[in-house]
Chain A
Amino acid sequence: MTELHRIMHIEDDPSIQQVAKIALEAVGGFTVHTCSSGQQALNDYPDFAPQLILLDVMMPGMDGPTTLQRLQQQYDLSAIPAVFMTAKVQSNEVASYKALGAVDVVIKPFDPMTLSDQIRKIWLDFQR
């Protein structure tokens, strides 16, 4: 079983970028590459080669679902789980996000102390 190291985080808000980076790197020990937009993610994807993609749903310009779609079109994401981050969701919304190709949803606001555990659990479930 592969261990999770590299996470690509796609988020437009700089504050949340920083919080998530520290939460995942300092608490979880992952390596995080932050992208401020969907376009940047498309550009940076080959160089960084993430093992997991964490992306915000609501972003100006290209939103989360579109970004994921474009990534799937350009690259092979079959072994790369994508996780959406979004505000409090309704149960039927989770299903629709999963239909878009995400393996799970992390609810905002997230607890920075448990975010890494949450991601690790999703990774393990995906590996299985």
Chain B
Amino acid sequence: MIIQRVSSTSNFITWFGSVLLLVLFGWLGWQDYQQQQTTSVLQKWALAFLVSELLLLLLLSDMQRVTRRLMRELQQSQEQKQQRESIQNQKYQQALSTLNNIAASFNPDWREQLRQALKVAADYLQLPIAILSRIEDENYQVLVHSAPPGLLQDDSHFDLGQTYCSITLAANDVFAVHRMSASEFAAHPCFEAFALQSYIGAAVHVDGDTFGTVSFSSAETKTLPFSQLERDFVSLLARWIGSTIERRHYLEAQIEVAERLKKIASQLPGMVFQFKLSPDGSACFPYCSDGIGTIYNLTPEQVKLSAEPVFALIHPDDIQQVQDSINQSAAQLCLWKQDYRVQYPDGEIIWVTGRSVPELQSDGSVIWHGFISDITERKKIERLKDEFVSTVSHELRTPLTAISGAIGLLHGQVLCELPEPAVKMTELALANVKKLQLLINDLLDMDKLIAGKMLFDIQPQPLLPVIEAAVRDNQSYGQQYQVTYQLQADTDDLWANVDSMRLQQVLTNLLSNAAKFSPADSTVDIRLQRQNNQALIRVIDRGCGISDEFNSAIFNKFSQADSSDSKSKGGTGLGLAISQQLVTRMHGNIGFYSEMGKGSEFYILLPLVSDNEFNEVSL
């Protein structure tokens, strides 16, 4: 293009110059001919024109030639540059695709994966010895290598000082030498020992700490120094290796956790599980220990995608209860706790107990983590225990009736007069028989309550008469402790659904406790009040109070503040446990406040009969 323009410009100058010269020499020749009037003058000027024309043509052609040459050289250098760039590009592409191949490779064996990577990188760098090292203090360990056969072995150890890698670590950058013998490191022990001429290496970091190095070396001298591209390549490779090792560590830790869970779970007497309930109602066990075999006779795989096989085994009488409890736990995100039966296809039934904690997931599903165990034995023992208590109590009662009757007759001096000390003895015997009777009554009550066999005769009725009767009946008991009961009712029109006999039993328990623990000559206040839609019955004493340690246990079976108390105060330790059960069965609450040394207040809250019910009753 440029050359064409140059040649057309020179053509133009040639023609234009020639015309100018012709006009100039023509005019000069004409002037001269006018003065001298000879043809020789014309010849002279014609010759001069030809000479100058020739000179012009020579000059122009030389100029054209020089320009052409310059242009050609320029073109050539441009082409060379393009060629160089494309080679560079190719190298970059090669480097990138090598790294890409390395990153995309996967082998379950981490050593082989890294060895593959080292080999690919070594081919790219054209350095046959590739080593990934683990460096701890001065110990250099060949973790993985790729080298011609027989040269190296994995897990061989060297002194760090004996390797170029000591320099790499110290440099904290890519360290590269293409001709060791000509470098400042010619005296390094590594060169003396292994005579490696070319070396490139970089530090590998794992979890922010120096892990080791990745290095490539050869006994051959490299013709050209290492390029920036090659340095970047090694640096990137070192980072990839670092993150690969991190991932491996993470994976191994996860595998270890899973293994640990499996081992621990296998030792548990039951199944550990993760149960998932999706918003569409489908359920499954994403995780389940092998213990599912002992509970449901299933494998974890059988319930991984659907919980159906499990639900199919739950006893038909219990399935509704189990499903309701799961739904309730999901809705309220509260602990799931349930005892139920599992029925195997052969008809065998076992009792199991399960508990698990729900967690709401972002997708609306709920996942529980929990445990289910076989409690068939426990249920059997519980039943035996209940039967035992029941039988023993009944069996004790008959001889006790005879004993109390016999002593009662002796004490009543029906058969003969007794001397004074003998009367005292029969009195003592009677008092103790009475205690035994109370204990057996309590035991039987508890037994009935636990077995759900206690029948309640719940009727809507005013509370005040029931309380008055209880206070009246206990007056003489209070007198034993020189304690008086004082009843104060805000209103006499509080109705509740209660079994009057059972409520009296509870009140008797509270009143006798209050008397027992009150100082002599004190009063126990009994109040009946309305609190919102509940009736509040309070029994307030001025006794010793209840210690904090005992607070939580007070409604437990056989609990008394301490054994010395039970000796001095009497009682079975069942009273409050029974009272709580009775009040609960009447849909009420029982509780207490207490202050050490000042006294205690026990209260009963009972739901009042609503107006509707009340009207029905009045009608």
The answer to whether A and B belong to the same complex is yes
In the complex, chain B residues 410-459 whose Cβ is within 8 Å of any chain A Cβ: 411-412, 414-415, 437, 441, 444, 454-455, 457
* Interface residue range, chain A: 20 to 34
Taking A90-B455, A92-B457 as contacts, is the C-beta distance between A113 and B404 under 8 angstroms? no
Select the stretch in B119-127, B392-400, B513-521 that faces chain A. Answer: B392-400
- A-B pair count, CB < 8 Å, reads 71
How many angstroms between the C-alpha atoms of A93 and B457 in the bound complex?
10
Q: Does A26 contact B (CB under 8 A)?
A: yes
How many angstroms between the C-alpha atoms of A92 and B412 in the bound complex?
33
Q: Does A48 contact B (CB under 8 A)?
A: no
B445, chain A: closest CB distance, angstroms: 9
Q: CB-CB < 8 A to A16: which residues of B?
A: 398, 401-402, 405
How many angstroms between the C-alpha atoms of A108 and B440 in the bound complex?
12
How many angstroms between the C-alpha atoms of A20 and B414 in the bound complex?
13
Closest A residue, CB atoms, query B434: A109
How many angstroms between the C-alpha atoms of A108 and B441 in the bound complex?
11
Taking A15-B406, A92-B457, A113-B409 as contacts, is the C-beta distance between A26 and B414 under 8 angstroms? yes
> Are B415 and A22 neighbours in the complex by a CB distance under 8 Å?
yes
How many angstroms between the C-alpha atoms of A35 and B358 in the bound complex?
65
> Are B398 and A113 neighbours in the complex by a CB distance under 8 Å?
no
> Are A23 and B455 neighbours in the complex by a CB distance under 8 Å?
no
How many angstroms between the C-alpha atoms of A19 and B397 in the bound complex?
15
> Are A88 and B441 neighbours in the complex by a CB distance under 8 Å?
yes
How many angstroms between the C-alpha atoms of A88 and B406 in the bound complex?
19
Q: Does A27 contact B (CB under 8 A)?
A: yes
B451, chain A: closest CB distance, angstroms: 14
> Are B455 and A13 neighbours in the complex by a CB distance under 8 Å?
no
> Are B402 and A15 neighbours in the complex by a CB distance under 8 Å?
yes
B427, chain A: closest CB distance, angstroms: 13
B45-77 CB mask vs A (1 if < 8 Å, else 0) is: 000000000000000000000000000000000
Q: CB-CB < 8 A to A108: which residues of B?
A: 397, 401
Q: Does A49 contact B (CB under 8 A)?
A: no
Q: CB-CB < 8 A to A113: which residues of B?
A: 408-409, 411-412, 414
How many angstroms between the C-alpha atoms of A110 and B400 in the bound complex?
10
Task: Jot down 22 A-B pairs with beta carbons below 8 A, ordered by A.
Answer: A15-B399, A15-B402, A15-B405, A19-B401, A19-B402, A19-B406, A23-B409, A26-B415, A27-B414, A87-B397, A90-B455, A90-B457, A90-B501, A91-B457, A91-B499, A92-B457, A111-B408, A112-B405, A112-B408, A113-B411, A113-B412, A113-B414
Using a CB–CB cutoff of 8 Å, the interface residues on chain A facing chain B are: 13, 15-16, 18-20, 22-23, 26-27, 87-88, 90-93, 108-113
